[in-house]
Amino acid sequence: MPVETINGHRVLEAVNAALDRHGASREELIPILNQVNQALGYLPAEALSEISLRLKEPLSSVLGVASFYSMLSTRPRGRHVVQFCESAPCHVAGGREVWETLREALKLATDETSPDGKWTLITASCLGICGVEPVVIIDDDVYGNLTADKIPEILARYS
Ligand code: FES
């Protein structure tokens, strides 16, 4: 069986590492998918099939979970993933202006990746930090109490 290489990581190695860490149990499906997603940058079809096989979980369920959570992706993403919270509390607190500024600055629509592979822009429902709305998460960095005028300076931190 050919072993595909993505982002310098082998798909099978990434799946094995996630199963070693979390155990081949369907209850661990989300952490397993999350670890493989982090290792490869996304969840390629080969990884999903392998996980389905090893957990004895139908591929449709594995795909369903992989498609449901915004932190997981079945398509390649940019080097930096910008997650914008589109839930009501953030929206009411000025999220709309932040969203428009983000879209214009990145020249992307939801779920798009820039042609240079630098950015992917996604929306998510409540990111769990409503006390500091509106909220944007870039990779693992959380930006709360955001205003549109802070966006250019924040984006400039990423290369
Ligand atoms: S509503 Fe935006 S973080 Fe909760």
Query: What is the band of 6 on the pLDDT scale with cuts at 50, 70, 90?
Result: low
The overall average pLDDT reported for the chain is: 92
CATH class of the domain defined by 80-155:
alpha beta
What atom of ligand 1 comes closest to residue 88's alpha carbon?
1
Check whether 9 has a pLDDT greater than 80.
Answer: no
Nearest residue (by CA) to ligand 1, atom 1, is: 126
CA of 146 to the centre of ligand 1 (A): 12
| Phi, then psi, of 64 in degrees rounded to 5 | -60, -45
pLDDT of 7? 55
What atom of ligand 1 comes closest to residue 134's alpha carbon?
2
What is the Cα–Cα distance from 159 to 145, expressed in whole angstroms?
Answer: 23
CA of 11 to the centre of ligand 1 (A): 33
Cβ(130) – ligand 1 distance below 6 Å: yes
Cβ(126) – ligand 1 distance below 6 Å: yes
The secondary structure of residue 114, as a DSSP letter, is -
Q: What is the pLDDT of residues 49-65, one digit of tens each?
A: 999 999 999 999 999 99
4 against 29, higher pLDDT = 29
Helices (DSSP H) in 10-124: which residue ranges?
Answer: 11-22, 29-40, 45-55, 59-68, 88-90, 96-106
Check whether 4 has a pLDDT greater than 90.
Answer: no
> Which residue of 96, 98, 99, 133 sits with most ligand 1 atoms within 8 Å of its CB, as the best mutation to test the pocket?
133
pLDDT of 1? 44
pLDDT of 106? 97
Check whether 39 has a pLDDT greater than 60.
Answer: yes
Query: What is the band of 155 on the pLDDT scale with cuts at 50, 70, 90?
Result: very high
Q: What is the pLDDT of residues 67-122, one digit of tens each?
A: 998 889 999 999 999 999 999 999 999 999 999 999 999 999 999 999 999 999 99
What is the Cα–Cα distance from 85 to 65, expressed in whole angstroms?
Answer: 20
